[in-house]
Amino acid sequence: MEIPSRSPYVVVGAGIHGLSTAYHLAQELAARGLGSGADVVVLDKAGPGAGASGIACGVVRNNYFQPAMSELMQACVEVWESDPVAYAYNPVGYIALGASVQEADLTATYERQERIGYDSELILGEAEVDAHMKALFPDWRAQGVTACLHEHQGGFAFNMDSVHGLYGKCREAGVSVLSGVEVTGFVDGADGSIATVETSEGRVEVGEQVVVAPGPWARDFWAMLGLPDTIDVRTPSGEVVRDRPMWTYWNLQEGEVQVDPLTFATADGGAPPVIHLDTNAPLHTDDGELLTDELWGIYFKRDRHSVQGGASPLVVDGDVELDPYPQTTDVDPAFPDLFCAALSHAMARFEGCRPLYKQARSGGVGAFTADNFPVFDHLRPNLYAILDSNHGYKMIGVGREVAKVLVGEHAPLLYPFRLERFETGDLHPVSSSPYPWS
């Protein structure tokens, strides 16, 4: 299909964010009598799910210490739950387990979830947590865990299947999704808005709005718009940190153990929740070698053919090559030992799993902002940016909120993620988690 010479709405990027925005925008236009999906075109230089969305681990959770993230994720879970078949969504729940240093954070997170009506329960005390987990998994044996936040909502989705589900919804709504079209620049109008989108296949005149949802290519579009590599960040205390890098890349540390996935089941044979375990108990291999005696953590879930998961990411030193997007994670050489030892530490059924470890088609690299949280905002009068590639996949509902903005509504769930927060000091609070996205 040839690209149109003009389109009222141009969405750049056919990952979760871009496709969700296009689909929900088509719905908003039709509901308000303002147009239809035929007024929306999605451009992607490769195709749907070719970037981070297509190899995401797929975890859907609301375990966020930050109020704004928790409230936005509640809306995202609503979208996942609205059509679990199309989105390949498995609502198995999510369990976050932490050491004593994380009790306060998990308690605050639970209390917030309770206030907003998100279904979860909190268990405190090492013996109490152990009993809760053994009721689910009789071979549970993790040590040093004193807090458990069990989210009965959430779970995980299969990455490319959910992308294809959104792609199908877009097509049914009349949206054009064009693959093999690379956006190479923007032409400004007299008022500073975007007049034209330049692509490898020609120019597209913009009638109303442009949305950029580039995932890990956020830095490239940031530069394309003439924005600086570094920014000044005002902290909540009023201190200004000068010349903070706007974009940092991290390697996501993920892999899988090729065991029969059905062996990872609950005591009653049911599908297990996603599990995130943080503890400061010493971690040993099955052979007794000490790997660490500091706070460590992993997350893991049952996948179609294995048990898949990961650990805290690593900062990428030097240049980052994104074309084509990495199909596997460049993991730390120590990660496989840590991941398998941690699985064995958690459950006896995983003892001896190290020879079954395999590098998964998962992870890749992700772009983090100056405070490790997304930017959702207009960067030009008619250009809305969805800039984040690590919270991104689970946040399928962001597109629904952006669609409201594009038709003139206020979206209060997006307001805390405006770019201005770096200047005003309205930053998100920092938790005790070793993960930069929590």
What percent of the chain lies above the pLDDT cut of 70?
A: 98
Contact 94, 84 (CB under 8 A): no
Exposed e or buried b per residue across 189-211, where buried means at least 16 C-beta atoms within 10 angstroms of its C-beta: eeeebbebbebeeebbebebbbb
Ranges 60-64, 217-221, 311-315, 327-331: which has the least confidence: 327-331
Report the first-to-last Cα separation within the chain, whole angstroms: 41
**Ordered alpha helix ranges (H), 33-102:** 67-82
CATH code reported for the domain at 1-89+155-242+370-438? 3.50.50.60
Which among 160, 178, 217, 164 has a CA at the least distance from the CA of 46?
178
The CATH architecture of the domain made up of 94-152+248-368 is 2-Layer Sandwich (3.30)
Tokens 């960067």 found at: 379
pLDDT at 436 over 70: no
Q: What predicted TM-score, i.e. pTM, was given to this entire model? A: 0.96
Ranges 47-51, 148-152, 429-433: which has the least confidence: 429-433
Ranges 100-109, 237-246, 388-397: which has the least confidence: 388-397
Phi, psi of 160 (to 5 degrees): -65, -30
pLDDT at 432 over 80: no
Contact 5, 205 (CB under 8 A): yes
Q: For residue 319, name the pLDDT band (cuts at 50, 70, 90).
A: confident
SS3 content of the chain, % helix, strand, coil (to 5): 30, 30, 40
**Other residues' Cβ atoms within 10 Å of the Cβ of residue 360:** 22
Report the mean per-residue pLDDT for the chain.
Answer: 95
Q: For residue 157, name the pLDDT band (cuts at 50, 70, 90).
A: very high
pLDDT for residue 210: 98
* DSSP 3-state of 123: strand
pLDDT in tens, 86-143: 999 999 999 999 999 999 999 999 999 999 999 999 999 999 999 999 999 999 999 9
pLDDT at 435 over 70: no
pLDDT at 73 over 90: yes
Q: Residue range 77-91: average pLDDT?
A: 98
pLDDT at 361 over 90: no
Strand partners, 301: 308
Q: Return the domain boundaries, the chain.
A: 1-89+155-242+370-438, 94-152+248-368
Taking the C-alpha atoms of residue 333 and residue 132, their distance in angstroms, rounded to an integer, is 34
Which among 84, 85, 108 has a CA at the least distance from the CA of 96?
108
> What is the distance, to the nearest Å, from the Cα of residue 97 to the centroid of all Cα atoms in its chain?
20
Q: Residue range 343-358: average pLDDT?
A: 98
Residue 161 carries which side chain, given as an amino acid letter? D
pLDDT at 228 over 80: yes
Taking the C-alpha atoms of residue 147 and residue 107, their distance in angstroms, rounded to an integer, is 8
**Ordered alpha helix ranges (H), 86-154:** 103-116, 126-136
Which among 336, 372, 370, 378 has a CA at the least distance from the CA of 353?
336
Taking the C-alpha atoms of residue 266 and residue 208, their distance in angstroms, rounded to an integer, is 51
CB within 8 A of 361, min separation 6: which ones?
55, 327, 328
Exposed e or buried b per residue across 103-118, where buried means at least 16 C-beta atoms within 10 angstroms of its C-beta: bebbeebbebbeeeeb
pLDDT in tens, 26-44: 999 999 999 999 999 999 9
Q: Residue range 165-172: average pLDDT?
A: 98
Contact 235, 427 (CB under 8 A): yes
| Residue 284 buriedness (CB in 10 A; 0-12 / 13-18 / 19+) | middle
The pairing of strands 365-368 and 248-257 is antiparallel
